[in-house]
Amino acid sequence: MVGVVSLITGRAGPSGFGSASTAEKVTQGIDASNLTAIITGGASGIGLETARVLALRKVHVIIAARNMEACKKAKKLILDQNQSARIDILKLDLASVKSVRVFVDNFIALDLPLNILINNAGVMFCPFQLSQDGIEMQFATNHIGHFLLTNLLLDKMKQTAKASGIEGRIVNLSSVAHNYTYLKGIRFDKINNRTGYCDKKAYGQSKLANILHSNELARRLQEEGVNITANSVHPGVIMTPLMRHSSFLMHLLKVFTFYIWKNVPQGAATTCYAALHPRVKGVSGEYFEDCNEHKPSSYARNQVLATKLWDFSNTVINSLSRT
């Protein structure tokens, strides 16, 4: 109940920020000119706002997205507002393992450091379909693609953290929808089955996977003694292009729940807070809502499930590498 009141009123939590805070507000006064960040899905919605605000704080931003025309427009929009912004764009289709590998090769070829990885891109509530790799589309795009991308970029992030002495940060965008998933959380043995498919539960499953990925990655990084953190965030309920498969339903829902919806600058706030704010230094394996730590579902806190998902994801990727 306290969380609902805070959401409606915008009342600040322990961090000093709340649901009404914007991305610019939570990063005000931060000079991040020595940082480089990759933002997936940074060409539209809260990804674009995240890219804009990070560039405003002098981060060298690489926008990674599937639609290069949208990327070019996003870059122009940011540069029109901020001529000194450092923005690069690279093509990335998270539903394709091959595309993820090509993206990483292209990024490494730029010979840039990497301090921040924001796994922002996603699809939502789409009808049943398989990716070109034969994986259910929401699980492929929202989890498997980001899982592989993160693993392939980890060495670069470790090198950067060691050479610079600056903490690396990985931010996975999850959702409160992780609470609404299949029985047992992840249906490992039926991940690609049309039978029993529910677009809402499949989305919730992928968002649960984002939190489990962050938590297991955080545990492994801490065990290794690496100066990199991994956290997950719920941006809030925002009308963005992500909802293109259910726009009528979402607009109808918004009529009756208008008081909990955020605008895009507010929606990008928690991501920017987790990526840049000094208060989050050393914090890892946590789930954030409205720029404050929150307790996710019991499935999301299940260490056994997190380890099982990690192993399952590696098995899926390895099987694709052999085909």
Distance from C-alpha of 209 to C-alpha of 211, rounded to nearest angstrom: 5
Is 26 within 8 Å of 280 (Cβ atoms)? no
Distance from C-alpha of 213 to C-alpha of 208, rounded to nearest angstrom: 9
| 197: annotated active-site residue | yes
Torsion of CA 8, 14, 15, 17, to 10 degrees: 20
Distance from C-alpha of 93 to C-alpha of 170, rounded to nearest angstrom: 19
Catalytic residue selected from 180, 197, 259, 273 = 197
Is 290 within 8 Å of 19 (Cβ atoms)? yes
Is 158 within 8 Å of 228 (Cβ atoms)? yes
Is 174 within 8 Å of 232 (Cβ atoms)? yes
Distance from C-alpha of 172 to C-alpha of 150, rounded to nearest angstrom: 10
> At a CB cut-off of 8 Å and minimum separation 6, what does 319 contact?
none
- The CA R_g of the chain, rounded to the nearest whole Å, is 18
Q: Which residues are catalytic?
A: 197
